[in-house]
Structure 1
């Protein structure tokens, strides 16, 4: 449990109130990771802007797939649960469960699998990567912008997941996430 003290929903004002309100609208409560990260609301707003800039070109589906792969490689319970929930709007639960258990055997395209493998390497072995890693994505049809955005999405997940882990933020389990899907998302961790 984190030692970071955060205000209750009825005590926040200004930018922090806006940040909490977005979670309350989406989840019905301010998530523990939101509460802790909004201790620095300027950085949190910058984080949101960075993610919007990545998603605007990469697309939500690709962003979420990259995020799920990076979160798995980082052993991030919080990010796997939160983004598993978000991915439900893009992918049906049956395929999402298959992706969560083993994305390599989930009916994804070769390009999507390669993108997710690349994301894992970004967060676990970036110092060992060479142009061959990016070239593989290019050979599968990704543009330079998409390769950069995939790299940024995975790197951003590394930043956020590691921050939550370092601060011992207890992960929330979204109440609308079915038990079976929750188990699939957490099984690889």
Structure 2
């Protein structure tokens, strides 16, 4: 449980009130991680701006897949649950369960699996990455700009996830999420058969 004194919804004003209202519109509630991060609303909005700048050209499907892989690699339960919920708009629950358990065996394209492996590597061993990591994505048809967006999506997830984890923000399960999906999203990262 976080010791931060977060702004209650009834007391939110200005930018904080706008941030809260945006979550109420898009999610139906205001998660604890939003309340914590919006203690600096300008930084919150700057992070949101970065995410929009990389997610829009990448496309929702790719963005959510990279985010799910990155947040699992980081151990971010908050982001896994939040983006698992958002991913239900793209995937049927059966496929999302497979992605959450082991994206290598979830009926995704070779390019999508490689993109997710790349995101895991960004989050777990970025210092050891080489041109071969980028070349793999290029060989599968990703443009240089898409590779930059994939990289920045994974790196931005580190910033947000690690901030939320470090502040001890309460973990909330999105309303209506099935127990099976919750358990799959919170499960351990499956090993990469390619060794990265």
Report the TM-score when normalising by structure 1.
Answer: 0.98
1:173: how far off? 0.6
Query: Is 2:29 the counterpart of 1:33?
Result: no
2:10 aligned partner: 10
Distance between the aligned counterparts of 1:149 and 1:27, measured in 2? 25
1:122 aligned partner: 122
Tell me the alpha carbon deviations over residues 50-80 of structure 1, each in whole angstroms, 9 at most, x when there is no partner: 1110011000100000000001101111010
Following superposition of structure 1 onto structure 2, how do residues 1-189 of structure 1 map, counting pairs within 5 Å?
Answer: 1-188=1-188
1:28: how far off? 2.9
Distance between the aligned counterparts of 1:143 and 1:93, measured in 2? 30
Structure 1's unaligned 5+ residue stretches are none
Root-mean-square deviation (Å) = 0.9
Distance between the aligned counterparts of 1:145 and 1:75, measured in 2? 27
Distance between the aligned counterparts of 2:187 and 2:43, measured in 1? 32
Structure 2's unaligned 5+ residue stretches are 190-196
Q: How many residues align structurally?
A: 189
SS of residue in 2 equivalent to 1:171? coil
Tell me the alpha carbon deviations over residues 19-75 of structure 1, each in whole angstroms, 9 at most, x when there is no partner: 001112233321100000000000001011111100110001000000000011011
Report the TM-score when normalising by structure 2.
Answer: 0.94
